[in-house]
């Protein structure tokens, strides 16, 4: 039986939010680039082109003149005029739409569905982006560790960790909002021991407990991804140091077992020269 197709995780980051989910992301405006790493597809809006409406209108006018001349030539060659005109209009509409999209600030559309996670709160967005950056470090270690890990299984595990983290971050931003709402309720006009105040304090305590539990769960995922990156990078450094030591060992062995070393050639020559001079003097004394 064939294995089921891998589930992709799509992650989009724009200026106002982060979107994470299993379905391809769409743009509400502007353009975006898509970078795929394993089963993770990152969607990043492209900066606007900066062309004003006047610039785009001028470009379309110039293109229209070119298409008009081309249409005249094609008509002279036998092409029906309305076909050339229809083609020219289609090209102008397409180019105009593309230019307009390129000039707009890229904004992701908000998807719908329980498996889609949208982060708006700055704190949760920062935490997730930090985890995403560390996941890039993890992936960079895999080529050097391919004989130790299964890249496919590692990719699925890392994508699942990012998906779980996004779900926790959504939960935390909801809890953050509830805590802010409850903190605005003071109850100064109520008498001490009021059942309403007691109930409010109980809900605050429950919310604090949920907040703490979600934070601990998120930290476990963040720490696990960071530990993976540090462990892989440390092992790669250890391998490089071992390779350097092995290369040094071979070089030292070659130097020790090779011909006379440069540092010893000078003393050896001096000793031989002195011996020759001494023998010559002894021979001269006998003559």
Residue-by-residue pLDDT tens, the chain, 287 positions: 444 455 899 999 998 999 999 999 998 877 788 999 999 999 988 876 666 777 667 777 777 777 777 777 777 777 776 777 787 788 878 877 767 666 566 788 998 878 899 999 999 999 999 999 999 999 998 888 878 888 889 899 999 999 999 999 999 999 998 888 887 777 666 667 677 777 777 888 888 899 999 999 999 999 999 998 898 888 888 888 888 888 887 888 887 776 655 555 556 655 655 665 565 555 555 54
Every domain of the chain and the residues it spans: 1-46+105-120, 53-103, 122-186+193-259
The Cβ-side half-sphere exposure at 103, using a 13 Å CA radius, reads: 14
- At residue 2, the pLDDT reads 41
Give the C-alpha separation, 160 to 171, whole Å: 17
- At residue 278, the pLDDT reads 63
Residue 157's H or E segment, with its range, is helix 151-183
- At residue 259, the pLDDT reads 60
Give the C-alpha separation, 148 to 150, whole Å: 7
Q: Which two tokens stand for residue 231?
A: 């462990």
Q: What's the CA dihedral at 126, 127, 131, 136 to 10 degrees?
A: 10
CB atoms within 10 A of CB 138: 21
| Among candidate residues 9, 73, 5, 229, the one with its CA nearest the CA of residue 137 | 229
């Amino acid at each position: 039986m064939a294995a089921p197709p891998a589930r992709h995780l799509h992650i989009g980051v724009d200026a106002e939010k982060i979107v994470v989910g299993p379905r391809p992301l769409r743009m509400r405006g502007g353009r975006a680039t898509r970078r795929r790493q394993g089963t993770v597809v990152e969607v990043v809006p492209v900066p606007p082109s900066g062309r004003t409406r006047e610039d785009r209108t001028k470009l379309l006018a110039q293109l229209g003149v070119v298409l008009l001349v081309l249409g005249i030539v094609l008509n002279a060659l036998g092409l029906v005029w309305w076909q050339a005109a229809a083609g020219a209009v289609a090209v102008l509409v397409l180019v105009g739409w593309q230019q307009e999209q390129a000039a707009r600030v890229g904004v992701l559309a908000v998807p719908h569905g329980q498996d889609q996670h949208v982060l708006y709160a700055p704190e949760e967005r920062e935490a997730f982006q930090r985890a995403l950056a560390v996941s890039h470090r993890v992936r960079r270690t895999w080529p050097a560790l391919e004989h130790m890990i299964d890249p496919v299984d590692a990719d699925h595990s890392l994508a699942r960790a990012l998906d779980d983290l996004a779900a926790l971050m959504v939960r935390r931003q909801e809890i953050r909002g509830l805590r802010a709402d409850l903190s605005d309720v003071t109850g100064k006009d109520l008498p001490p021991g009021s059942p309403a105040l007691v109930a409010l304090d109980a809900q605050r305590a429950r919310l604090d407990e949920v907040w703490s539990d979600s934070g601990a769960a998120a930290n476990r995922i963040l720490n696990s991804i960071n530990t993976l990156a540090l462990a892989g990078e440390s092992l790669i450094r250890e391998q490089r140091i071992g390779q350097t030591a092995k290369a040094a060992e071979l070089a030292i062995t070659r130097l020790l077992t090779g011909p006379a070393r440069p540092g010893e050639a000078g003393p050896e020559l001096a000793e031989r020269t002195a011996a020759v001079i001494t023998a010559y003097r002894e021979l001269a004394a006998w003559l």
